Chain A
Amino acid sequence: MRTASQPDVMLPTRRLEPSHGWNLHRLSEIWTYRELLYFMVWRDIKIRYKQTALGAGWAILQPVLTMVVFTVIFGQLAKLGSDGKPYPVFSMTALVPWTYFATALSAGSQSVVANQHVISKVYFPRLLVPLASVLGPLIDFGIAFLVLIVLMFWYGIVPGVAILWLPALLLLSVLTAAAGSIWLSAFNVQYRDVRYVVPFLIQLWMYASPVPYSSSLVPARWRLLYGLNPMAGVIDGFRWALIGGPSPGAMTLVSAGVVILALLLGAAYFRRLEGTFADRI
Chain B
Amino acid sequence: MSSQPVIRAEHLGKRYRLGARRRQHGTAREAIAGAANRLLGRLRGGRSDKASQEILWAIDDLSFDIQPGETVGIIGRNGAGKSTLLKILSQIMEPTTGFAEITGRVGSLLEVGTGFHADLTGRENTYLNGAILGMKRAEIDRKFDEIVAFAEVDRFIDTPVKFYSSGMYMRLAFAVAAHLETEILVVDEVLAVGDVQFQKKCLGKMDDIARRGRTVLFISHNMEAIQRLCTKGMLLDRGRLIASGSVTDVVTTYRAAEQSLVDVGRFNSRGRTGTGWARVKDVRLVDGTGNAVAGRPAEDDLTFELDIELTNASKSGASLRGLVTELVICSEQGQPLVSLMNVDDDGVELPSVTACRITARLPGPTFLPGRYRMNLFLGIPYLEHVDEVPDALEFEVLPPERPWRPYELNISRQIVCRKAEWICTTAVPAAEVAIS
Task: State yes or no: do A and B come from one complex.
Answer: yes
CA gap between A7 and B100 in the complex, in Å: 20
The reply on A262 being an interface residue by CB < 8 A is no
Contact B28 A193 (CB under 8 A): yes
The reply on A117 being an interface residue by CB < 8 A is yes
A contact residues around B104 at 8 Å (CB): 11
The interface on chain B, measured as residues whose beta carbon lies within 8 A of the other chain's beta carbons, has a size of: 56
- 8 Å CB interface, B215-230 against A: 215
Contact B213 A13 (CB under 8 A): no
Name the segment of A16-24, A95-103, A104-112 touching the other chain: A16-24
Contact B119 A122 (CB under 8 A): no
CA gap between A46 and B117 in the complex, in Å: 10
Closest B-chain residue to A47, C-beta based? B119
A16-B99, A190-B24, A193-B28 known; A123+B120 contact, CB < 8 A: no
Name the segment of A83-91, A147-155, A246-254, A273-281 touching the other chain: A273-281
The reply on A121 being an interface residue by CB < 8 A is yes
A7-B2, A39-B127, A47-B119 known; A117+B114 contact, CB < 8 A: yes
The reply on B115 being an interface residue by CB < 8 A is yes
CA gap between A35 and B119 in the complex, in Å: 21
Contact A279 B27 (CB under 8 A): no
- The distance from the CB of B365 to the nearest CB of chain A, in whole angstroms, is 34
B contact residues around A117 at 8 Å (CB): 114-115
Contact B100 A15 (CB under 8 A): yes
Q: Which of A13, A36, A120, A275 neighbours the largest number of chain B CB atoms within 10 Å of its CB?
A: A36
- The distance from the CB of A190 to the nearest CB of chain B, in whole angstroms, is 7
Contact A3 B95 (CB under 8 A): no
Closest A-chain residue to B4, C-beta based? A7
- The distance from the CB of B189 to the nearest CB of chain A, in whole angstroms, is 13
The reply on A31 being an interface residue by CB < 8 A is no
The reply on B181 being an interface residue by CB < 8 A is yes
CA gap between A43 and B124 in the complex, in Å: 8
B contact residues around A190 at 8 Å (CB): 24, 26, 31
CA gap between A15 and B99 in the complex, in Å: 7
Question: Residue-by-residue, is B1-40 near A (CB-CB < 8 Å gives 1, otherwise 0)?
Answer: 1100010000000001000000011111101000000000
Question: Residue-by-residue, is B142-156 near A (CB-CB < 8 Å gives 1, otherwise 0)?
Answer: 000000000000000
- 8 Å CB interface, B173-208 against A: 181, 183
- The distance from the CB of B380 to the nearest CB of chain A, in whole angstroms, is 45
- The distance from the CB of A72 to the nearest CB of chain B, in whole angstroms, is 37
Contact B92 A1 (CB under 8 A): no
Contact A4 B68 (CB under 8 A): yes
CA gap between A13 and B111 in the complex, in Å: 25
The reply on A219 being an interface residue by CB < 8 A is no
Question: Residue-by-residue, is B88-105 near A (CB-CB < 8 Å gives 1, otherwise 0)?
Answer: 111111111111111111
CA gap between A89 and B29 in the complex, in Å: 43
Residue in B91, B124, B127, B213 whose beta carbon sits within 8 Å of that of A16 in the complex: B91
Residue in A7, A18, A35, A122 whose beta carbon sits within 8 Å of that of B92 in the complex: A122
Contact B183 A2 (CB under 8 A): yes
CA gap between A52 and B259 in the complex, in Å: 58
CA gap between A193 and B25 in the complex, in Å: 11
The reply on A51 being an interface residue by CB < 8 A is yes
The reply on A118 being an interface residue by CB < 8 A is yes
Question: Residue-by-residue, is A98-141 near B (CB-CB < 8 Å gives 1, otherwise 0)?
Answer: 00000000000000000001111111100000000000000000
CA gap between A18 and B100 in the complex, in Å: 10
Contact A18 B213 (CB under 8 A): no
- 8 Å CB interface, A210-243 against B: none
Residue in B26, B117, B127, B133 whose beta carbon sits within 8 Å of that of A122 in the complex: B133
B contact residues around A46 at 8 Å (CB): 119-120, 124
The reply on B318 being an interface residue by CB < 8 A is no
Contact B119 A51 (CB under 8 A): yes
The reply on B238 being an interface residue by CB < 8 A is no
- The distance from the CB of B118 to the nearest CB of chain A, in whole angstroms, is 9
The reply on A25 being an interface residue by CB < 8 A is no
CA gap between A11 and B182 in the complex, in Å: 12
A47-B117, A191-B28 known; A123+B108 contact, CB < 8 A: yes
Q: Which of A16, A17, A39, A191 neighbours the largest number of chain B CB atoms within 10 Å of its CB?
A: A16
B contact residues around A11 at 8 Å (CB): 103-105, 183
The reply on B128 being an interface residue by CB < 8 A is yes
Contact A123 B91 (CB under 8 A): yes
Contact B27 A7 (CB under 8 A): no
A contact residues around B100 at 8 Å (CB): 15-17
Contact B215 A16 (CB under 8 A): no
Question: Residue-by-residue, is B73-89 near A (CB-CB < 8 Å gives 1, otherwise 0)?
Answer: 00000000000000111
CA gap between A251 and B114 in the complex, in Å: 45
Question: Residue-by-residue, is B373-391 near A (CB-CB < 8 Å gives 1, otherwise 0)?
Answer: 0000000000000000000
Q: A4-B68, A39-B128, A43-B120 are in contact. List 15 more A-B contacts (CB 8 A).
A: A1-B212, A5-B69, A7-B1, A16-B91, A17-B100, A36-B134, A38-B131, A43-B128, A47-B117, A121-B111, A123-B90, A123-B108, A191-B26, A193-B27, A276-B94
A-B pairs with lowest CB-CB distance, top 6: A4-B68, A17-B99, A275-B94, A123-B91, A3-B213, A39-B131
Cross-chain pairs A/B with CB under 8 angstroms, 27 sampled? A3-B69, A3-B214, A4-B6, A4-B214, A4-B215, A7-B1, A14-B102, A14-B103, A15-B99, A15-B102, A16-B88, A16-B89, A16-B91, A17-B100, A18-B95, A36-B134, A117-B114, A121-B114, A190-B26, A191-B28, A192-B25, A193-B27, A276-B94, A278-B92, A278-B93, A279-B24, A279-B93
